[in-house]
Amino acid sequence: MTTFEPEIVALCCNWCSYAGADLAGVSRIQYPPNVRILRVMCSGRVEVGHIIRALEMGADGVLVTGCHPGDCHYISGNEQAEKAIAATKEILTVLGMEDRLSLEWISAAEGQRFGQVMTDFVERIRALGPNPMKEAKVSRGNPGDVPGRLEDLVDRTGVMYCLECGKCEATCPITRMEIAYSPMLIVEEALRDLPEELEADKGLWNCITCGLCSHRCPSGVDFLEFVRQAREVETSSCDRCAHGGVFHALAGIMANEAVSQPGRLDWVEDGMEVAEKGELLYFTGCLPYFEPVLWDVDVHPAGALGSTVRVMNHAGIVPVVMADERCCGHDLVWSGQSGTAFAELARLNVEAIKATGARRVVFTCPEGLRTFAKDYPRVLGEDAIDFELLHITQLFAELIEEGRLELPEGTDEAVPLTIQDPCRLGRHMGIVDAPRKVLDSLPGYELREMEHHGLNAHCCGTSSWLNCGTFSKRIQVERMTQAEDAGADLLVTACPKCFSHFNCTLNEPGSDDTPPKPAVEIVDISVLLSKTLGLEGGGDR
Amino acid sequence: MRHDEEPRIGVFVCHCGSNIGGWLDVPAVAEYAGTLPYVVHSEDNLYTCAEDGLAAIRKAIKEQDLNRVIVASCTPRTHEPLFQATCEEAGLNRYLFEFVNIRDQCSWIHMSEWDAATEKAKELVRMGVAKATRLVPLDRSTAPVELVAMVLGGGITGMTAARAIANSGFEVYLVERRSVLGGLLNRLHKIWPTEESPRQLLDGLEADLEANERVHILTGTEMVDLKGFVGNFDVTLMPVEGNGDGLDLKVGTIIVATGADEMKPDGLYGYGEVEGVVTELELETMLREGNLPEIGNAVFIQCTGARGQRVTYCSRVCCMTGIKNAMELRELYPEASINVLYRDIMAYGISYEELYQRARVKGVGFIRHPKEEPPRVETGPDGKVRVTYRDVILGRDIVQDVDLVVLSTPLVQHEDAKELAQMLRVPLGQDRFFFEAHVKLRPIDFASDGIFLAGTAHGPKDIEESIVQALGAASRSLTFLKAGQVLSEPIVAVVDEDSCIGCGNCIEVCPYGAIELKEGGKRGQVAEVNPGLCKGCGTCPGACPSSSIQQLGFTDEQILAMITALANGGD
Ligand code: SF4
Ligand code: SF4
Ligand code: SF4
Ligand code: SF4
Ligand code: SF4
């Protein structure tokens, strides 16, 4: 048996801790040879994504070192490091890996301390044992089974039926902003087998996969499916991933069976009733990871988790929640990074669900729903999913219909609200009635429709944590303006990602010259329902 | 452009004599480097930084058409500029150079682990190659230097430095928080070896300073705020007392000469409790003012509070001060018995050894005691001080009732030095003195450019040493002032205007206010970095949700490539 020698990455700031490492050297202070130093100018440079990626790649521990508080060579860079590390720790707590990360302050004069900190950290990691990702069996990236030629792809997705009518580009929200972008043109490029041009005009990557074009296409071209597969052929990099690619890296990590998530159910509060086995399972997706990953944009979508369970409990349902649930893999699928990881995520999730005996699986996130419904059968076989899949709004609508929720009396004055149809729920899954049924039955509110709604709804501007860019932001502002124009005070979302993207735009600091934001408040449909039922205890709306 | 070509990397692995080569297998590291992607040349050198090593780099760049160079040796903190300059001489942009540290971070710290150290050195080189592959040429820009210096501290060190700078033709502000110049020297009686009064020395200096119109003496003044960087510091000064007007200055360089204090050894050897127990400086004040009582016998206790008693270090000057004053007492009171109780006498250098010998000849007694058995001091009969000490030669305790006990205490850093250090963004060492950039290679510099260090602020020193360092600091300062401009490191933040969403998150975290939203981009507003204000901390990329802002030289791509190289064993 070989003994375990931890492999540790230390990200050291140039001015204090790297100098401390030098002093340790000059003073011949001996410490274990397990640490590899990566120099940055300031600890503030270290990003959540760097750490998560290092762990994804199998580093046993990550140490970040900076100047003592108050001593930062760059005034306050180390304060930013502290925040980033705290957020990363929160993420790692869900994964049970929080002890693999440490932030230490070491000055240029503390050579002795540098050696001690390294020694202690190496011993700590040695005691923890190897990072489960070290022996990772699967990884994200280009999937092995997609033939690398556009021609085949054209065959598979039926784009040769394109009539060149231009209806798609007339409806595409991206074409509206960037005239050079056109789904029709992309199809043409593919038909002529011009992969370089496809990549060069970023066409493939600008698409937010909202599905409006496919919805309009008179000839049934499945542009969405084309984009999905073309991305798998084109690239496996995460260059266009938002938030430093952290969500995608987490998907890659969760795809490994050896990785457990001891903190995954930490959101379950006292008083909530949940079960390990049962009829109905609540699939939470990556929502337990959202807030620490989105720490830098000030959005707080995680409340939907508790609200959902409270409403279920209120209706007498004790949902199964799974500690070994994994990312559904949606974001890998749409960023061309399925690799071997996606099929494994599918397998692990479906096996875990089957083990609970659940017959119905409910999703807060429409992306998860779509992935289970349309992409899992692709990799697991057509009848792999033998349980019912439904969106949380479908369950709520059902409960309301059956009279299982005690909705209070309405008031005379009704707050106007409107609903954002998530693209994955509406066009991808064809579900548009359920959220309306829920909202229609809420006392004290009045549903107003935006100009584009239902199957014609405009999307929130970002999907798959990909390509968040200027188009996304403009789409978000536009969409919220449409809500405002419809006279709504509240814009209700039925997707935690829509919720996050909209709030992100509302909350961005901007500058004095930034135009005022639309006057709408974004609220999650589960939270709204739970509040209406009086289940949220304290706080306004 | 060259950087668009496929990388051609040369790796130079240094033995550093035996500093590296003695502890790990340097040729094996060089050989391994040669197997890495894009590495077309690798060699090991006895001393890469020596002229033949540098020549080898230049030669390989030319002959092998290298477009990236890596040296695996010591630390970028001391040697990077040299190797960068070498690349430049051979026509390669200096930012196409990458440093790998296998001495301070490998050979010197894993001295009994040849194999593991060799393995680690290989991995560090692999990470360096991964980064080098992704380096791009960068250009430095120049910024003018404010042709004014500021010296903090108006003791002998600060005065000397200020005079030297002014004599070279530059304006200098001499800032002293007490109401008079002169510092600790004001409290001394005589200075060795000239045996003159310190007044003579100070008066001469002060007269020179006052006569020079380029010198601005600001006594009773302290620095309360500092912003900016080398060449362009913004200083705010305030009167120490009262609430008079502050003064805002722009200066190019700063010398820290804030000196030290004598330790007050409360609770040691009866100090503060027993009448007749004083410190060296208190004795010197009495000598200077002529109010010393009649002395029949006196005892000096060396190393009071030093070398493990309260501070760990030897304060260097107290032996000589004790000997000097013991002799002075012998001269004033030739009949008196004067004994110096010591653990070790540190009479370093020719003149101090001579002083020590002279004291012995003059009849000063030197009595050694072990560290574990320090003398005891208590109130004695008839207003005397009773000192009990172990005489190691006689092997028994001696009890002596004396008129005076003089405690030789170490110089210590000022209580509030931490505040100043934080304002200057420079470190204090473990003993709280200001800490230089490198003990041998940059002993007068701080790691931050444009701030220099002299005198006892750096650690105990005698007057001669303080003056020497003052002149050194002045000359380091003049290097910048005479150049008139500084080259700024181009490792600044840059924005991809195509993808920037104009959210302003980066603005919130920039410590220097270097980013603004300007009109433009695809959303109407886009971030813009002012490269003159950006100091290259790299904090902003972490706050950018769309990875639209990157720090040159430390891009996500480069950092992740290094991490990947470490994890993936080189592919
Ligand atoms: S899916 Fe949406 S964004 Fe993509 S091309 Fe179609 S309409 Fe445009
Ligand atoms: S819009 Fe969405 S993806 Fe873009 S920064 Fe905000 S939360 Fe992230
Ligand atoms: S000082 Fe640095 S470059 Fe010079 S010989 Fe030693 S390790 Fe090599
Ligand atoms: S690198 Fe640092 S100083 Fe430069 S703009 Fe970014 S945060 Fe500001
Ligand atoms: S944080 Fe990024 S996206 Fe936002 S303004 Fe700055 S550079 Fe642009």
Q: Is A117 helix (H, G, I), strand (E, B) or coil?
A: helix
Q: Is B518 helix (H, G, I), strand (E, B) or coil?
A: strand
Lowest mean pLDDT among A173-182, B38-47, B85-94, B500-509: A173-182
Letter for the amino acid at A451? E
What CA–CA distances, in Å, run from B525 to A9, A209, B518, B522?
A: 38, 25, 6, 8
Contact in structure between B320 and B359 (CB atoms under 8 Å): no
Instruction: Show residues of chain A in contact with B108, CB under 8 Å.
Output: 25-26, 28
Same domain, B499 and B473: no
Give the pLDDT mean for B487-506. 92
Single out the residue in B138, B166, B181 at which a domain terminates: B138
Letter for the amino acid at B19? N
Closest Cα to atom 6, ligand 1: which residue?
A213
Contact in structure between B14 and B44 (CB atoms under 8 Å): yes
Q: Which residue has the higher pLDDT, A194 or B228?
A: B228
Q: How far apart are CA B380 and CA B551, in angstroms?
A: 71
Q: Taking the CB of residue A486, how many other CB atoms lie within 10 A of it?
A: 18
Task: Give the containing element (helix H, strand E) for B529.
Answer: strand B524-529
**Phi then psi dihedrals of residue A66, to 5 deg:** -145, -175
Same domain, B420 and B406: no
Q: What does the H/E/C string look like for A217-230?
A: CCCCCCHHHHHHHH
Residues in chain B: 571
B560: in domain: no
Same domain, B96 and B64: yes
Residue A191 — pLDDT band, cuts 50, 70, 90? Answer: confident
Task: Give the CATH number for residue B93.
Answer: 3.40.50
Give the pLDDT mean for B546-567. 94
For residue A540, the model assigns a pLDDT of 40
Shortest CA distance to B329 belongs to which of B285, B376, B294, B357? B294
Q: Which two tokens stand for residue A436?
A: 């309306």
| Residue indicated by tokens 């593991």 | B116
For residue B498, the model assigns a pLDDT of 87
**Phi then psi dihedrals of residue A48, to 5 deg:** -50, -45
Give percent above pLDDT 70 in chain A.
95
Same domain, B441 and B328: no
Give pLDDT tens digits for A195-221. Answer: 677 666 567 788 999 999 989 999 888
Task: Give the containing element (helix H, strand E) for A174.
Answer: helix A173-177
Give the pLDDT mean for A50-74. 93
Same domain, B167 and B255: yes
Shortest CA distance to A435 belongs to which of A498, A524, A361, A350? A524
Give the pLDDT mean for B495-508. 93
Q: Which residue of chain B has the CA closest to A13?
A: B537
Same domain, B358 and B376: yes
Same domain, B360 and B373: yes
Which candidate from B109, B427, B501 shows the least CB-CB separation from A31?
B109
Give pLDDT tens digits for A139-166. Answer: 888 665 555 566 777 777 888 888 889 8
For residue A199, the model assigns a pLDDT of 65
Tell me the helix, strand and coil percentages in chain B, rounded to 5: 35, 25, 40
Q: Is B374 helix (H, G, I), strand (E, B) or coil?
A: coil
For chain B, positions 396-455, list CB contacts with chain A under 8 A: 421-422, 425, 427-430, 435, 437-439, 447-448
Query: Of the ligands numbered here, which is closest to the C-alpha atom of B539?
Result: 4
Which candidate from A45, A50, A470 shows the least CB-CB separation from B523?
A470
**Phi then psi dihedrals of residue A13, to 5 deg:** -75, 145
Going by CATH, does the domain composed of A408-532 fall within 3.40.50? yes
Same domain, B406 and B282: yes
Q: How far apart are CA B529 and CA B538, in angstroms?
A: 12
**Average pLDDT over all residues of chain A:** 91
pLDDT for B192 beyond 90: no
Contact in structure between A76 and A42 (CB atoms under 8 Å): no
Q: Which two tokens stand for residue B291?
A: 């109010």
Contact in structure between B137 and B160 (CB atoms under 8 Å): no
Give the pLDDT mean for B316-327. 95
Domain span at B516: 493-552
Residues in chain A: 541
Q: What is the dihedral of CA B354, B359, B363, B368, to 10 degrees?
A: -100
The reply to whether B40 touches chain A by the CB within 8 Å rule is no
Judge residue B515's burial from the number of C-beta atoms within 10 Å of its C-beta, 0-12 exposed, 13-18 middle, 19 or more buried: buried
pLDDT for B1 beyond 60: no
pLDDT for B570 beyond 50: no
For residue B571, the model assigns a pLDDT of 39
pLDDT for B205 beyond 70: yes
| C-alpha angle B376-B381-B383 in degrees, rounded to nearest 5 | 95
Sequence ranges of the domains in chain A: 8-135, 150-234, 408-532
Task: Give the CATH number for residue B309.
Answer: 3.50.50.60
Q: How far apart are CA A130 and CA A148, in angstroms?
A: 36
For residue B221, the model assigns a pLDDT of 96
Q: How far apart are the CA of A509 and the centre of ligand 2, in A? A: 14
pLDDT for A338 beyond 60: yes
For A364-428, where are the alpha helices, taking DSSP H only? 366-370, 376-380, 392-401
Q: Which two tokens stand for residue A78?
A: 């180390």
The reply to whether B111 touches chain A by the CB within 8 Å rule is yes
- Report the top-level CATH class of A150-234: mainly alpha
B434: in domain: yes
Same domain, B225 and B155: yes
For B299-416, where are the alpha helices, taking DSSP H only? 318-332, 350-361
Contact in structure between A432 and A440 (CB atoms under 8 Å): no
B236: in domain: yes
B269: in domain: no
Q: Is A420 helix (H, G, I), strand (E, B) or coil?
A: strand
Best residue among B79, B86, B124 to mutate for probing ligand 3, ranked by most atoms within 8 Å of CB: B79
Residues 6+ apart with CB under 8 A from A349: A283, A325, A326, A328, A372, A376
The reply to whether A297 touches chain B by the CB within 8 Å rule is yes
The Cα of B266 is separated from the nearest Cα of chain A by a number of Å equal to 28
Q: How far apart are the CA of B547 and the centre of ligand 5, in A? A: 8
Same domain, B404 and B453: no
Give pLDDT tens digits for A285-331. Answer: 999 999 999 998 989 999 999 999 999 999 999 999 999 999 999 99
Same domain, B430 and B355: no
Give pLDDT tens digits for B148-188. Answer: 999 999 999 999 999 999 999 999 999 999 999 999 999 99
Lowest mean pLDDT among B79-93, B231-245, B546-560: B231-245
Q: Which residue has the higher pLDDT, A2 or A223?
A: A223
The Cα of A184 is separated from the nearest Cα of chain B by a number of Å equal to 22
pLDDT for B548 beyond 70: yes
Residue A229 — pLDDT band, cuts 50, 70, 90? Answer: confident
Lowest mean pLDDT among A115-119, A408-412, B127-131, B336-340: A408-412
Contact A74 B511 (CB under 8 A): yes
Give pLDDT tens digits for B409-438. Answer: 999 999 999 999 989 988 898 899 999 988
Q: How many domains does chain B have?
A: 4
CATH number for the domain whose boundaries are A8-135: 3.40.50
Which candidate from A42, A71, A72 shows the least CB-CB separation from B538?
A42
The reply to whether B117 touches chain A by the CB within 8 Å rule is yes
Residues 6+ apart with CB under 8 A from A231: A204, A205, A334, A335, A336
For residue A411, the model assigns a pLDDT of 74
pLDDT for B28 beyond 70: yes
pLDDT for A539 beyond 50: no
Q: Which residue has the higher pLDDT, B110 or A180?
A: B110
Q: What does the H/E/C string look like for A458-488?
A: CCCCCECCECCCHHHHHHHHHHHHHHHHCCC
Contact A36 B512 (CB under 8 A): no
B190: in domain: yes
| C-alpha angle A252-A254-A257 in degrees, rounded to nearest 5 | 115
Asked if A8-135 and A150-234 have one fold, the answer is no
B404: in domain: yes
Q: Is B304 helix (H, G, I), strand (E, B) or coil?
A: coil
Same domain, B291 and B376: yes
Best residue among A157, A159, A171, A172 to mutate for probing ligand 1, ranked by most atoms within 8 Å of CB: A172
pLDDT for B2 beyond 80: no
Q: Is A452 helix (H, G, I), strand (E, B) or coil?
A: coil
B110: in domain: yes
Q: Which two tokens stand for residue A117?
A: 């900190």
For chain B, positions 477-516, list CB contacts with chain A under 8 A: 491, 498-505, 507-509, 511-512, 516
Ligand 2 shell residues, CB under 6 Å = A 242-243, 294, 297, 299, 462, 465, 468, 472, 500-501, 504; B 545
pLDDT for B331 beyond 70: yes
| C-alpha angle A528-A530-A531 in degrees, rounded to nearest 5 | 65
Give pLDDT tens digits for B236-278. Answer: 999 998 878 899 999 999 999 999 999 999 999 999 999 999 9
Contact B525 A513 (CB under 8 A): yes
Tell me what ipTM this predicted complex has: 0.93
Closest Cα to atom 5, ligand 2: which residue?
B545
Please identify, by atom number, the ligand 4 atom nearest to the C-alpha of residue B515. 5
Q: Which two tokens stand for residue B256?
A: 């820290």
Query: Of the ligands numbered here, which is closest to the C-alpha atom of B503?
Result: 5
B266: in domain: no
Q: Which two tokens stand for residue A485?
A: 């124009």
